[in-house]
């Protein structure tokens, strides 16, 4: 059974969808750990409610191979999913988990990626640019923000009247429909 860690900084709706997808049916993998950098992140309650251990790390602990790596090893983690995780992943972790860390970004990369582009900021930029569609991108994590190899994209049409909050709702729906299945396919190919 392959063991997944989810790293998340916020509300955790994606984390919950992924946990529900893997942990309550036989899919050859399970979410064994949730890691957050914020003590007030909604994802922590969701993990606890769903019976998944959760750990909060300070920036220092997160960036220290002496802390993070033994922790991941202790939980037997084979694969890492970033689901709304807002810290930069250290280079040594990318090397240690080569092609085993994926991120979801709430736009059709390479559009609307890069530093500062997360959550509602992305949707505001999409609306300001009068895009007629947006979407989600699942990609491998590399040393640069949002620049790793793209694995999967899905798109959704936008109306001229859509607000950033409308776009956010559409994106969350798209993520719920596709992200857990995309992870399952990636894992099946390991």
Sign of the alpha-carbon torsion through 58, 142, 183, 179: positive
Determine, following the binding rule CB under 6 A, whether residue 171 of this chain makes contact with ligand GAR: yes
Structure tokens at 50: 């769903």
Should residue 138 be labelled a site residue for ligand GAR when binding is judged by CB under 6 A?
no
| 35, 106, 108, 135: which one binds ligand GAR (CB under 6 A) | 106
Q: Which stretch binds ligand GAR (CB under 6 A): 22-30, 66-74, 100-108, 127-135?
A: 100-108
To ligand GAR, the closest distance from the beta carbon of 166 in angstroms equals 14
Given candidates 2, 11, 37, 45, which one binds ligand GAR under the rule CB under 6 A? 11
Residue-wise DSSP of 67-122: HHHHHHHHTT--EEEESS--SPPPHHHHHHTTT-EEEEESS-TTTT-STT--THHH
Question: Is 12 near ligand GAR (CB under 6 A)?
Answer: yes
Q: Could you tell me if 85 and 34 are in contact, meaning their C-beta atoms sit under 8 angstroms apart?
A: no
Which residue in the set 21, 46, 100, 105 belongs to the binding site for ligand GAR (CB under 6 A)? 105
Residue 44 contacts residue 11 (beta carbons within 8 Å) = no
104 binds ligand GAR (CB under 6 A): yes
142 binds ligand GAR (CB under 6 A): no
Distances (CA, A) of 41 to 85, 134, 168: 11, 26, 18
Query: Exposed, middle or buried by CB within 10 Å (0-12, 13-18, 19+), for 2?
Result: middle
Catalytic center residues:
105
Among 5, 35, 52, 83, contact with ligand GAR (rule: CB under 6 A): 83
**Closer residue to ligand GAR, CB minimum distance, 64 or 114:** 114
Contact 141, 148 (CB under 8 A): yes
Return the number of the residue (100 or 123) whose C-beta is nearest ligand GAR.
123
Half-sphere exposure of 138 (CA within 13 A, CB side): 25
From 5, 6, 7, 14, residue interacting with ligand GAR (rule: CB under 6 A): 14
What does the binding site for ligand GAR look like in residue numbers (CB under 6 A)?
Answer: 8, 10-15, 83-84, 104-106, 118-119, 122, 171, 175
């Amino acid at each position: 059974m392959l063991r997944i860690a989810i790293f998340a900084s916020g509300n955790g709706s994606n984390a919950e969808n992924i946990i529900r997808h893997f942990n309550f049916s036989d899919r050859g993998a399970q979410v064994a750990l949730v890691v957050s950098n914020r003590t007030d992140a909604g994802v922590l309650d969701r993990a606890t409610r769903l019976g998944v251990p959760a750990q909060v790390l300070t920036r220092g602990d997160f960036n220290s191979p002496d802390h993070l790596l033994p922790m991941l090893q202790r939980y037997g983690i084979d694969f890492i999913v970033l689901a709304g995780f807002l810290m930069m992943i250290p280079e040594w972790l990318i090397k240690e988990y080569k092609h085993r860390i994926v991120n979801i970004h709430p736009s059709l990369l390479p559009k609307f990626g890069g530093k500062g582009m997360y959550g509602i900021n992305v949707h505001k930029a999409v609306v300001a640019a009068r895009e007629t569609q947006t979407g989600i991108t699942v990609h491998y994590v590399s040393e640069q923000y949002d620049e790793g190899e793209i694995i999967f994209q899905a798109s959704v049409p936008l109306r001229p009247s859509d607000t950033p909050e409308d776009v956010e709702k559409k994106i969350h729906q798209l993520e719920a429909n596709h992200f857990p299945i995309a992870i399952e396919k990636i894992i099946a190919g390991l």
